[in-house]
Structure 1
Amino acid sequence: MINYQNLKNFDAAEYLETKEDVLLFLNEAFSSRDTDHIVSAVESVLRSKPVRAMQGSGGNLKNVEQTFGEDRKPTLQTLICIAEALNSQLGLFPTDCTGAIS
């Protein structure tokens, strides 16, 4: 029988080892179009090894956790800081879903 009290909660942050992992993880979260999932992903990213290393080195993310909104909604500035620290950029891309701009 499994002792559920000994099971550890899954934390995606523990599996994000590289900047590329973080980018893929965030892109997948954004593609879900689920705001709760996106916020959870951003929280995981902020706890991940690559981001913690950038914070420790005085990068753009040094104080980004403080800019994370109290209402659990990342500000645009938070997302821009994460993107810049990952040598990436935010963007919008056309989709083929109903109502998309073509």
Structure 2
Amino acid sequence: MSGLKQFDAADYLDSEEMIAEYLSEALEDENPDVFLAAVSDVAKARGMTAIANSTGLGRESLYKALTPGAKPRYETIVKVLHGLGVRLTVQP
């Protein structure tokens, strides 16, 4: 069993379409930790340092905000999503 590699969703988030679908599905879950984990996976795929730099957040702050169970401020999530180049939309 030691030859198995642990699954990391970030390894598969290699297109804008895949990222959008992944975040959309995570947002459908009523557990907010699922969405935070998905945003974290996308940030890892894009590079945490790059996202931290584009949002003005420190790397440690970014990791802390995206930890399951964290209660990040709305403005922090908006900054991170903007840094990722994605936006949330509302549909009827």
Q: What is the TM-score when the length of structure 2 is the normalising length? A: 0.66
- Quick check: 2:49–2:59 contact (8 Å CA) kept in 1? no
List structure 1 segments (4+ residues) > 6 angstroms apart after TM superposition: none
Count of matched residue positions in the alignment of Structure 1 and Structure 2: 89
1:34-82 deviation line (CA, Å, top 9, x unaligned): 223222212212211x3x18817x4236636514166434432232123
Tell me which residue corresponds to 1:34. Answer: 31
Distance 1:54 1:64, change over 3 A: closer
Q: Which amino acid aligns with 1:75?
A: R
Unaligned runs of 5+ in 1: 95-102
- The answer to which structure, 1 or 2, has the higher relative contact order (CA under 8 A, 6+ apart) is 2
Tell me which residue corresponds to 2:41. Answer: 44
Q: Which has the larger radius of gyration?
A: 1
Q: Aligned Cα RMSD in Å?
A: 3.1
- Structure 1 position 90 matched with structure 2 position 88: yes
**Aligned mates of 1:53, 1:20 — CA distance in 2:** 20
- Quick check: 1:64–1:78 contact (8 Å CA) kept in 2? no
1:32 CA displacement: 2.2
Structure with higher helix content:
2
Distance 1:8 1:75, change over 3 A: farther
Tell me which residue corresponds to 1:5. Answer: 2
Distance 1:87 1:44, change over 3 A: closer
Instruction: Give the SS at the match of 2:6.
Output: coil
Distance 1:19 1:46, change over 3 A: same
Identity of aligned residues (%): 26
